[in-house]
Chain A
Amino acid sequence: MRMLNLLKISFKAIVLNKVRALLTMLGVIIGVASVIAMLAIGEGSKQSIKAQISSMGSNMITIRPYAERQGGVRLSRNEMQSLTLDDFELIQSEASLLTNVSPQVDGNGQVIYGSDNWPSSIYGVNPEYLSIRVWEIQSGSMFTDVEVKSASKVAVIGQTVVENIFTNGEDPVGRMIRFNNIPFKVIGVLEEKGENTFGQDQDDVVLAPYTTVQKRILAIDYLQSITASAISEEQSEEAVEEVTELMNKSHEIQKGATADFEIRSMEELISTFSSTGEMLTILLVAIASISLLIGGIGIMNIMYVSVKERTREIGLRLAVGAKSSDILMQFLIEAILISITGGLIGVFLGLSTTYFIEKMLSWPTSVTGYSIVISFAVCAITGIFFGWYPARKAATLDPIEAMRYE
């Protein structure tokens, strides 16, 4: 009952000073709106990075040789011969948390068709590689295990390669191309993937059986890396541990000694990028919080003016029986009403700003529930915190002096 009356009194005081209240709210409105919009942008970019990484195969695990010293010289990873087909076979047969495993040997060179040529990379892999990278075949087909076994000269090529050497628009499937003068028969074309997060063109690639690349192009019998996919993204850490154990055993790595291989998962990459995104979000929110603080100071300022201006009114209220606590509550409620109303408008403005940013600038955004809850809670706290001192001042006025105040 008493609270309801006080709420009415405070509400009336705000309505009587609409323009002033609105101007006071402006600080809070801008503060809340920017907190929400900034968090939405930060969260949006974080999620889009994550989605991009996921599209590269978020459960991907890569095993590479670790560049150890040989006589003081650190070797290039690709020249190290510590990773072999035996390792691949071991992992393929023993690792339980992996779905697909593929050896990998890479080479660079010129792709030639007719009078056109294009510098590209050739990945020597097995058929499972496609599902590891989440790549799709657009036309034709992937090579088979039989073709791997027989080291057939067949290739599956990416869109960038197609565009640059098949300039007449003819169907590449069934044509003969040359990679570093070795002839390959194109049996499939990959679906377009675009650039990845690092700006690397994922379509500029030629896939061929790893046996063919080992023998014909690189003339090596070891592997440069082993690529695999874990059962799920969540289990990729466990999968890494499992593979590490297997490899440690077969490579006879003593406990505490440096291994001659290195295993990385996409998960690590994601967390690295996520933390960058979080950093960005924290910065944006810090800036937005400052405007919320300034909004709060604005409320305090206006509440002081309001108390001063209504000194006689306060005196009268005290004279007709208002308790100090009634006056305190009246002004506190007024401050909270202003900040919460400002907060509500701010939430609305923040959501519409986010919407327009997404539509007009086509930036990825994502409004999170907690950003609304937090900024709203901060608003209420701002109202209480900055409204307290002016309200306290009003409550401690002496009724006799207050009524005489001119």
Chain B
Amino acid sequence: MKEKAIHLAHLKRSFKMGEDTVHALDGISFGIEEGEFVTIMGSSGSGKSTLLNLIGCLDRPTSGTYKIDGVSIKDLGKNQLAQIRNEKIGFIFQSYNLLPRTTALENVELPLLYNNSIGVEERRKRALEALEKVSLSDRLHHTPSQLSGGQQQRVAIARSLVNDPVVILADEATGNLDTKTSYEIMALFQELNRQGKTIVFVTHEPDIASFSGRTIVLKDGKIIRDEKNTNVRVALDDLRAIPKQD
């Protein structure tokens, strides 16, 4: 039996909005095993962003338990949460969130700057490796403004890989990209998954979801569907199917 990378049980998160209490997440339980590629789907307001924030340790649940890599985050303080984020989670955002006027290499090094156990040389070495994995070794010293959207997102992916996280969390990672680039990014995710990375991908596009091995659908803070994909598409094949544009 594989150890669960992520384990959620009866997870609830509610927000006070004036007089009313909004239950963004209303009792969610599931587990994600190491090496899984899971997409979380749902329309806006379904609670998927809240769930992502909880999994990413940016937020704490109102009730229920959440364990990442066997660690329950319920009783952890702010600084300990920061450390978990730093060591166990890799974030990828829709709008890339790279530091402007900062080179790709430095952007990728960023999470390691906040890890005291990693020295300058180790940091550089890991960042170079991560950029190689996303095929950007020739763009090390380019700043975000000198890179295309797809390249920027690949820098962001390299940044999420650099601390060798337990899970990579992608929030609408293809939301700002055209179809072809989206497929390229999905191909990259599939390749990383094949190498053993656990990936949680939040999206509202069923097309994108079909590249993953499992889909969880949220509605009104509850899971309405959680099933394995029997017919996983291969992004590289779809990429080849797109006619070359001239």
Task: List A residues at the B interface (Cβ < 8 Å).
Answer: 1-2, 5, 9, 12, 16, 312-313, 315-326, 399-400, 403
Contact = CB atoms under 8 A, between A and B. Distances in A.
Contacts of B115: 321
Given A400-B58, A400-B59, A403-B97, A320 B116 contact: no
A67 to B, nearest CB: 80
User: A interface, by DSSP: helix, strand, loop or mixed?
Assistant: helix
Contacts of A321: 82-83, 85-87, 111, 114-115, 163
B37 interface: no
A266 to B, nearest CB: 65
A145 B99 CA distance: 92
B10 interface: no
Contacts of A316: 97, 99, 110
Contacts of B116: 1-2
Contacts of A403: 93, 97
Interface residues of B, number: 26
Contact of B114 (A12, A16, A313, A322): A322
A320 B56 contact: no
B193 interface: no
Give the 4 A-B residue pairs with the shortest CB-CB distance, closest first: A321-B86, A320-B111, A321-B114, A323-B82
B210 interface: no
B220 to A, nearest CB: 21
5 contacts: A318-B58, A320-B85, A320-B159, A323-B83, A403-B93
B91 interface: yes
A120 to B, nearest CB: 80
Contacts of A312: 97
A403 B49 CA distance: 13
Given A16-B101, A313-B99, 11 more contacts: A315-B97, A317-B110, A320-B85, A320-B91, A320-B111, A320-B114, A320-B159, A321-B82, A322-B114, A323-B114, A403-B93
Interface in B68-126: 78-79, 82-83, 85-87, 91, 93, 97, 99, 101-102, 110-111, 113-116, 119
A302 to B, nearest CB: 18
B165 to A, nearest CB: 10
B53 interface: yes
B82 A318 contact: yes
Nearest to B159: A320
B86 A320 contact: yes
A236 B222 CA distance: 95
A400 B91 contact: no
B39 to A, nearest CB: 21
A16 B106 CA distance: 14
A315 B98 CA distance: 11
A102 B79 CA distance: 83
Nearest to B169: A319
Contacts of A1: 116, 119
Interface string B175-192: 000000000000000000
A312 B82 CA distance: 17
B113 A5 contact: yes
A84 B83 CA distance: 93
A399 B114 contact: no
Contacts of B91: 319-320
Given A317-B110, A324-B78, A399 B97 contact: no
A71 B97 CA distance: 98
Contacts of B99: 313, 316
Nearest to A406: B95
Nearest to B56: A319
